[in-house]
Structure 1
Amino acid sequence: MSHSHDDHHDHDHDHDHMHEEDVIVLTDEEGIEHEMVMVYSFDYQEQSYTVLIDRNDVEADGVILRVEEDGEETYLVTIDNDEEWDKVVNVYNQILEEESK
């Protein structure tokens, strides 16, 4: 999993429910847009997290972002705290391990 340190990501959901993928467009530090696919969401210690992979490069590392809500707005936020990051990655790895049994 990649771990980048940048701020809030505004995102657009592809609301065409004919597709099975939830596509979110993220803009990286260089201003390049990436179409990301939400592959998993989970809760840990009263926070929600989502796992995204690049729609056009599924072999690339995924990214885990914290889901934050402000009224009706939903934001995906990078996890800047290394302790939180380590715990969230461990929880996600445990989930993957359980699901692969």
Structure 2
Amino acid sequence: MEEENLIVLTDEEGNEHEFEVLDILEIDNSEYAILLPLEDNDEEEAIILRIDIDENGEEILYEIEDDDEWEMVAETWQKVVTAGKNGEAF
């Protein structure tokens, strides 16, 4: 795992959490980060966050609160993973 694929996020309580960036998807002019927690976790479930730009031009990651938007990104990610396993281009 390359270090450039790692990101550390701080939660609301100030705790730092390390993630591997699995992919960045661009869908309908929005970008989404697919992250995998690196902490000891029995579930290896990826986290999907929307990437936006703040007033200073910095990238900010936001939780997706809209269920339809989350489903759209999750389905697209699943297609990417499936295509990759089958050796297909997506």
The normalised TM-score by structure 1 is 0.70
Partner of 2:2: 20
User: In proportion to residue count, which structure has more helix?
Assistant: 2
Instruction: Describe how 1:15-94 pairs up with structure 2 within 5 A.
Output: 20-21=2-3, 22-57=5-40, 59-70=43-54, 71-94=56-79
Within 2, Cα distance between the matches of 1:23 and 1:84?
A: 25
The residue identity in structure 1 corresponding to 2:21 is M
The normalised TM-score by structure 2 is 0.78
Higher-RCO chain (CA-CA 8 Å, sequence separation at least 6): 1
Within 1, Cα distance between the matches of 2:40 and 2:32?
A: 21
Query: By how many angstroms is 1:25 displaced?
Result: 1.5
Unaligned runs of 5+ residues in structure 2 are none
**Percent sequence identity over aligned pairs:** 34
Is 1:98 the counterpart of 2:83 in the alignment?
yes
RMSD over equivalenced CA pairs, Å: 2.0
- Displaced runs of 4 or more, over 4 A: none
Within 2, Cα distance between the matches of 1:52 and 1:97?
A: 17
SS in 2 for 1:89: helix
1:5-59 CA distance string (max 9 Å, x none): xxxxxxxxxxxxxx72322222335543211111111111111111111123375
